[in-house]
Amino acid sequence: MVTWSAWPGERFELGEGLRSVGGRLVMVDILTGRLLDLPDGEPPRVLATVDGPLGAVAPLGSGWIAAAGEGISVLGGRVLARLLDGRMRMNDGVADPRGRFWAGSMAYDNTPGAGSVYRVDTDGTVTEVLRGYTVPNGPAFDATGSTMYLADSAAGEIHRYSMSPDGDPGPRSSFARVHEGSPDGMTVDDEGHLWSAIWGAGEIRRYAPDGSLTQVLEVPARQPTSVCLHRGRLIVTTATHGLPTPGPLDGAVLATPIDVTAPPARSAHLT
């Protein structure tokens, strides 16, 4: 039986984007536009706030690159690209092993196929690389960056792409399908297995590199949103968004001991 503990303090409407950075744990609360630090045993602390939704961040030197509002920017610095209109927002994102930042977009009303995935190269160029997603989540990369996993949350499917050294995705293949709930935030561990939060099912799932399901952990919250392996624990964010009567642990940040490790969040690079 899995035993979970909860961080003290706030319950989040849409907490996501857990990252292990420099020995500490950070997350975003998307709809309030906050980047948060999660000290052990203490309530979350606000590191930065943006005007609009904050989909995800990756470390960038001593700061952060962010999928924020309607585009991608350096927090407290330059805007790299304004990509969207008021019907859309940025969602999940991550840096790959080569220092490129990847982030998805989605419509506020979940318009089918309206979302895209963008790549920020190290020279600051922003390119739309994938289209036709409704709610793209992840992506997550293997240790070499030669494989990218991307959740098509609305379709209940996780896709896999072979990546060129230049960051161009090859043909899409189906990696795993979820029949109850939706795949959300993901990470790859040091054994090459993919972990995914399953929104709506109250589960965390671990998949082998061949796509076989190897482990299912039940979470005492209905809407887990992201996962992180940090200092001997599996950490999970959850959300109250859309729940008419949230339970006591809906929206909490949860942790359970685990003997699996993963690399810390990779840093983005800009020249």
Cα(148)–Cα(171) distance, integer angstroms:
11
Residue 123, annotated as binding a ligand: no
Q: Are strands 233-238 and 147-152 parallel, antiparallel or unpaired?
A: unpaired
Active site annotation includes 166: no
Mean of per-residue pLDDT scores for the chain: 96
Confidence of residue 86 (pLDDT cuts 50, 70, 90): confident
What's the confidence (pLDDT) of residue 79? 92
pLDDT tens profile 32-80: 999 999 999 999 999 999 999 999 999 999 999 999 989 999 999 899 9
Share of the chain above pLDDT 70, in %: 100
Q: Annotation-wise, does 110 bind a ligand?
A: no
Report the CATH number of the 5-257 domain. 2.120.10.30
- How many CA atoms lie within 13 Å of 249's alpha carbon, on the beta-carbon side? 16
Q: Where are the domains of the chain?
A: 5-257
pLDDT the model gives residue 187: 98
Distance CA 26, CA 7 (A): 13
pTM of the model: 0.96
SS (H, E, C) 6-45: ECCCCCCCCEEEEEEECCEEEEEEHHHCEEEECCCCCCCE
pLDDT for residue 180 is more than 90: yes
Please tell me the distance from the alpha carbon of residue 145 to that of residue 96, in angstroms, as a whole number. 6
The verdict on whether residue 184 carries a ligand-binding annotation is yes
Among residues 96, 152, 184, 250, the one annotated as catalytic is 184
